[in-house]
Structure 1
Amino acid sequence: MASCSVFTYALDVPVLRPLVLSFLTDISRMPEWASNIAKCTQISDGKLEEGSCFEVISSVMGKTLTHEVIIISLNPGFKYTVKSYLGPLPFRIEYNLQDSKKGTFISSKSEIDFSGLGPFISKIVEGFAKNQFEKDHQRLKELLESGI
């Protein structure tokens, strides 16, 4: 992605890595913690693995957006990376998991290209997205800590 915004977030949860990864990769549950996502549907055949694709329908500032996403990395228990290959805002999201004294340390990094929106609108949407990214990760932490 040419010029993109990068958001990072880290959290430590009292949940074992395999359970965290299982929750993160359960695309049907994404709307529970990613508030802008209305629906996720697998569009490739078979189990969810590297190379699998899914459709994400989301809402950003009142606009409905549809993206097709591919899993580009799935290292069980350690890493999960997805990238959009079709949709209005190119993005890449990576989750890295490590054991911690508490349970699992999760670091996430999102790269989103807002440049297609124009300079003025892209700054507004970028601020909204950063705020939403932080809120969504707090919600993810709450769900994981509640025993998912």
Structure 2
Amino acid sequence: MNYQQTPAEKLDTDALLDLILRGYDAAHLEQLPKLHRLARKIEAVHRANPDVPKGITLAVKKLEHSLTDHIERENAYVLKRMEHDQPPMPDTPIAQMNEEHSVIQRQLKKLRQMTRNYRAPGSACRSWQRFYLELNALDSSLSKQIYLERDVLFPRFQF
């Protein structure tokens, strides 16, 4: 399906779910291990450089863990229950998913702070520059996905 033709806010529920699952979730799950490896490499190679954010590898790993767990729970207990505009079961944990979104947003904020809003220093090698560019793209993509879930999809099922 081509999502570029229709604003995401106007997609029907099944198309929006497909965009979230196949577009955002799949891309994020593929990207995070690569970012973790890049962070580890940069911290190891440039450990003497004071511009390297200390703990960046751990921060990326925590985001990877949080997001992987969140996606697994959200897909199993929330998104699957919304297919074909089915009314959600009373135990659908939408509030829990929104709390997890807040945790992920705080982790992204920490990464922005650690990296000076993803601005690589002049001494940064190409890998370091690429890491910041890709981390910035992930931040933007995750923020858009959280908006689509929290502000577009979930309200369709809250009464």
Greater per-residue helix proportion = 2
TM-score, shorter chain, exceeding 0.5: no
TM-score class, shorter: 0.3 to 0.5
| Bigger Rg, structure 1 or 2 | 2
Q: TM-score, normalised by structure 1?
A: 0.33
Greater per-residue strand proportion = 1
